[in-house]
Amino acid sequence: MRYINKVDLLIIARNMSLLMIGIGLLCLVPIIVDLIFLEFNAISYLIPALISIFLGVIFAKAFGKYGDKRVRLKHTMMISSLSWLWACIVCASILYLVTGTGIIDCAFECMSALTGSGITIYADVEALPYSILFFRAFQQWIGGLGVVLIIISFVAKPGSASHKLYVSEAREDRIKPSTKATLKNTIIIYFIYTALGIVLYILAGMPIFDAVCNTFSIISTGGMSIKNANIGFYQNDIIYFITMVLMVLGATSFLAHFYIIKTRGRSLIHDSQFQVMICLIAVTSMLIYFASNILPMDILFTVVSAITTTGASIESSTVMGAWPSFVIFIIMMLMLIGGSTGSTVGAIKLNRVISFSRGIYRNLRQIISPRGAVIPNPKSKGKLDDKVATQSGNYITLYCLCIIFTWAAFCLYCHDPFDSLFFSMSMQGNIGLEIGQLSQTMEWPLKIIGMFNMWSGRLEIYPLLITFRAFFEIFKR
């Protein structure tokens, strides 16, 4: 039985056309910075951007009659996967034309930026042109909310197709009944927090260009810095605290943010994911403090960076690599969990961990309870659906399998097993922290595997599996 046919592919091509045009337009934005700093690289941005726009227009004209065809979830998942891949290709082409870096390195860098992973292949980022530094930060800012979501919020019509695209980008929470209205309010919240971050950084003494780029990378929980020493470059506790606040805001559900004003902050306090995140930050920070001699600021900043999957740091990777193994283990567990569902974070996400834990607890109670007893398991004000717990368990299993596969590949190339496991978790969770120098030393096959990790981690694996299955169908006799 064939699950994908020619009509499916044409529906995908037609609906990708607007996204290709949108990606091309977004890639024109860094030209403003290029002109301000007189770097004369505008043509390097124009060529890939115009190619993307041109192909999008061609697709829209050629496959226009398929625009009204019924779009199913399988279509939107493939559209989402391919759109992220296309965005990576276009952005990598720009990076290649401006810097002359190898194409695989450019693709890795751009996939890292777009997915909010924050891992860089550049040993000296401060040597890069200002327009590229802005471009990397802008990619993180766009990718934090979602490449597809940013574009469909402006160009897509309300309806089931918009909702399916929304779901395909690992989003479920709705602020409003309409997906279009939800996207509009989400973007408004995102803009407000971005503006707030820029203003706070400037008031703390950060240069305007740095404030813009750092806010883009932090509120999106990307963490890819414009400085070699990351946020540690500024040596300013106020900037560190502002960064931690922005990281927590970025890792909190947009739904909770939306109701903050209406409920006078109670929505945030009563949000189970936010409660668990703050508790984990407090408990693990205290554990690390009593188990090591690390400075309190270093502990708190790293813990917040790990659980919010931002990957920003105030200490170098080599310094972190020398921390006690128990400390690194705790950081790895936080990296595995991640922040709230419906935010900008990667990793497994708190809602899945909570649902899975409650499912285990319910099963334990069923085993020890008298025969025939009904065991309720509350989830907020309702009951825990067995299907939700099962789906959470399935995803966690898939997620861990991806990490194990990448870890095995790094070990095959004789990299340190502990560093490799940490780095594999960092890529799969779109985090960016590392305890060695693997990002600068890994071989090109590992970079390709790493791109898959970051790509699948951002889209939560299933859209990629469906896309690969579709390509298998195409070549199947």
Are 392 and 379 within 8 A, CB to CB?
Answer: no
Q: What is the amino acid identity at position 435?
A: I
Q: What percent of the chain has pLDDT over 70?
A: 88
**What number is the average pLDDT over the span 166-175?**
50
**60 C-beta neighbours (distance < 10 Å), count:** 18
Are 459 and 80 within 8 A, CB to CB?
Answer: yes
Lowest mean pLDDT, pick from 152-161, 175-184, 270-279:
152-161
**pLDDT tops 80 at residue 175:** no
pLDDT of 380 reads 47
Q: What is the pLDDT of residues 44-75, one digit of tens each?
A: 999 999 999 999 999 989 887 776 567 777 88
Please, which pLDDT band fits residue 302 given cuts at 50, 70 and 90?
Answer: very high
- For residues 355-372, one letter each, b for 16 or more C-beta atoms within 10 angstroms of the residue's C-beta and e for the rest, the string is bbebbeebeeeeeeeeee
Q: What is the pLDDT of residues 403-447, one digit of tens each?
A: 999 999 999 999 999 999 999 999 999 999 999 889 989 999 999
pLDDT of 382 reads 45
pLDDT of 67 reads 65
Distance CA 404, CA 393 (A): 16
Q: What percent of the chain has pLDDT over 90?
A: 61
Distance CA 334, CA 324 (A): 16
Nearest residue to 172 via CA among 306, 73, 68, 75: 73
| pTM score above 0.85 | yes
Q: What is the pLDDT of residues 136-158, one digit of tens each?
A: 999 999 988 876 666 555 545 54
**pLDDT tops 90 at residue 456:** yes
Are 250 and 221 within 8 A, CB to CB?
Answer: yes
Distance CA 414, CA 443 (A): 11
Contacts of 395 (CB under 8 A, 6+ apart): 348, 352, 460, 461
pLDDT of 476 reads 64
**pLDDT tops 80 at residue 326:** yes
Q: Which is more confident, 55 or 358? A: 55
Integer CA distances (angstroms), 416 to 228, 421, 422, in order: 24, 9, 10
Nearest residue to 151 via CA among 248, 238, 52: 52
Packed helices 272-291 and 325-337: angle between N→C axes, nearest 10 degrees: 170
Please, which pLDDT band fits residue 313 given cuts at 50, 70 and 90?
Answer: very high
Measured at the CA of 28, the angle between CA 54 and CA 234, to 5 degrees, comes to 150
Distance CA 110, CA 93 (A): 10
